[in-house]
Amino acid sequence: MESSVTMEMVKHLLLLVGIILAVGTLCGFISHKIKVPDVAIFLIAGILLGPSVSGIVTIPAESALNQMIILFGACYILFDGGASIKLRVLKEVWITLVVIATIGVLITAVITGAAAYFALGLPVITALLLGATIASTDPATIVPIFRQVKIKERVAQTVISESAFNDAMGAIVTFAVLAVAMGSGEFSLTASLIDLLKQAGIGVLVGIVAGYLAALLISHEKLDFLSEYTPLVTLMAVIGAYLGADGFQASGFMAVFVFGIMIGNKETFGFEMEPRENEKLEEYVMTTALIMRIFIFILLGSQVDFGLMNKHLFGGVFVVTVFMLVARPVTVFCCALPDKRAKWSMNELLFMCWTRETGVIPAALAGLLIGVKAPGAQIIGSVTFIAILMTILIQATTSKWLAGKLGLLEENVDRIY
C-alpha cells in the first residue's frame, strides 16, 4: 500500500515537472517574440499555475524539493553569470564594485528601512530588518536579463558582479539586525566586518581552487583526460564549490561565481580548449541555465502569497517605490560617482539606478524570518513579495527600452550575458 502511494506521488511529481517544462518552453517562445526578459514571463506563468489562481502547481516553499531546486538553480545561474565576466573589465570598475556591494547594501537597507518605519509604522529595528532583507540584488534575476539584453560591456558586468558579491553582505546585515530584533545579541560593526571578510575571502579561495582544478582536468595540455566530460565536470564543480565554501561557513554563492569567472577566463591562466569542446560546453551551460530559470521563477511565482500581500498592499507598494526610485539611485551615485578611475558617464549611472531586481535570495531570507518567527516577519514577507513582483515586472521588462534610450545597447556585438 505504501509503495502504491509513493508511486502515485512520484507520478504526480513527474507530471508537475512536465507541466513546468512545457509552460516554460511556451513562455520562452513568447518572451522571444515580444522581446521581454523571460524571467518576467516565467513569474507571471508561475502565479497563474499556483494555488492563488489555478492550483496546478502546489510545491510548498518549505519542501526539500523546492529548496533543492532554488539552491542549485541559483548556484548554476550564478556560475553562468561568472563565466561571462571578463577580468580585463573588472580591473576598470573594481572600486565601484567593492563599494556598491558592501556600503551600498547598508545605504539601501537604511533608506528602505526609513520608508518602512514611516509608511508601515514599524518599530525601528523591524523596519531595518525589512530593509536589510531586500537590500541585495538577485543574481538569478540579473544574469538572465543580461543574457537577453546586450548592454555596454562594463555596465552589464558591473551589475552582474554586484549581484553576486552583495549576497553575502545582505545576509550578514540581515542576520546581524535579526540578532538584535530577537534580543539574542547586539550589533557589532567590527564583528560584522570580520564575518564579511571571512565569508567573502574563503568563498573566493574555494572558487579559485575549484576553477583551477576543473580547468586542469578539461583543458590542460597533458592532464585534460576529462575534456570529453566537460559539462559533467562543471556540474560537479558547481556543487563542490558551493558545498565546500558552505562547509567552511563561507559564501557558497561567492564560490560558484568565482568558479565561473575562472572557467570563463581560463585562457588567461594558460588553459586552452578545443573549439568543438568549448562550443559543446557553452551550449550545455545555456540549456541548463534556461531550465533552471524556468523552474526557479515558475516556482517563485506559484508561491506568491496574495493574502499576505493584500494585508499591507498600499504601504508595501510605497516602501518598494522608495526602494526603487530613491534608495537605489542614492546608492549608485554615492558608490559609483566618486570612482574617478572608472569614469562613469551619467547615462551609465542612470541605467544602473534602474537595474536592481529582487528575487530568489531576498525571498529565501524572508522565508527564513517567517520560519524563526522574527518580529514583523509577516509584514517583511509581504513587502518582499511586492518587491519581487514590482522589480521584475516593471524594471526587468523595461531594461532594454531604457538602455536604448540611454544609448547603451550593443545589438551588433556577438556577446552573451
- Looking at residue 186, its pLDDT comes to 61
pLDDT at 348 over 90: yes
Reduced to 3 states (helix: H, G, I; strand: E, B; else coil), residue 338 is coil
- CA-to-CA separations, 155 to 73, 106, 205, 342, 343, in angstroms, rounded: 24, 22, 26, 11, 12
Helix count and strand count (H, E) for the chain:
18, 0
What's the rounded mean pLDDT across residues 312-335?
Answer: 93
Query: What is the residue whose three cell numbers read 558552505?
Result: 246
Give the side-chain half-sphere CA count within 13 A for 1.
0
Q: Is the pLDDT of residue 413 over 70?
A: no
DSSP 8-state secondary structure symbol assigned to residue 85 = -
Query: How confident is the model over 85-114, as pLDDT tens digits?
Result: 778 777 888 899 889 988 999 999 999 999
State the SS3 of 89-111.
HHHHHHHHHHHHHHHHHHHHHHH
Which long-range contacts (C-beta less than 8 Å, at least 24 apart) are formed by 66-72? 66/299, 66/303, 69/295, 69/296, 69/299, 70/296, 70/299, 70/300, 70/360, 70/364, 71/242, 72/238, 72/239, 72/292
pLDDT at residue 417, as a whole number: 37
Residue 242's nearest CA partner among 231, 232, 233, 250 is 250
- Give alpha helix (H) positions in 220-312: 230-247, 252-264, 275-302, 306-311
Q: Note if the pTM is more than 0.85.
A: no
| DSSP H or E run through 88 | helix 87-120
How far apart, in whole angstroms, are the C-alpha atoms of residue 260 and residue 190? 31
Pick the closest to residue 263 from 214, 221, 200 (CA basis): 214
Q: Give the whole-angstrom CA distance, residue 133 versus residue 360.
A: 11
Q: Quick one: pLDDT band at residue 240, thresholds 50, 70, 90? A: very high
Instruction: State the pLDDT at residue 214.
Output: 87
Residues 40-51 as b or e (16 or more Cβ within 10 Å = b): bbbbbbbbbbbb
| Higher pLDDT among residues 154 and 85, named by residue | 154
DSSP 250: S
- Contacts (Cβ under 8 Å, ≥6 apart) of 352: 155, 158, 159, 332, 336
Residues 60-405, CATH architecture: Up-down Bundle (1.20)
Q: Among candidates 361, 357, 359, 339, which has minimal Cα distance to 348?
A: 339
Mean pLDDT of 55-61: 84
CA quadruple 53, 357, 250, 178: dihedral sign? negative
- Amino acid at position 162, single letter: E
Per-residue pLDDT tens over the stretch 113-124: 999 999 998 999
Query: 352-399, pLDDT tens digit by residue?
Result: 999 888 877 787 777 778 777 788 888 888 898 889 889 988 988 898
> Cβ–Cβ contacts within 10 Å for residue 300, how many?
27
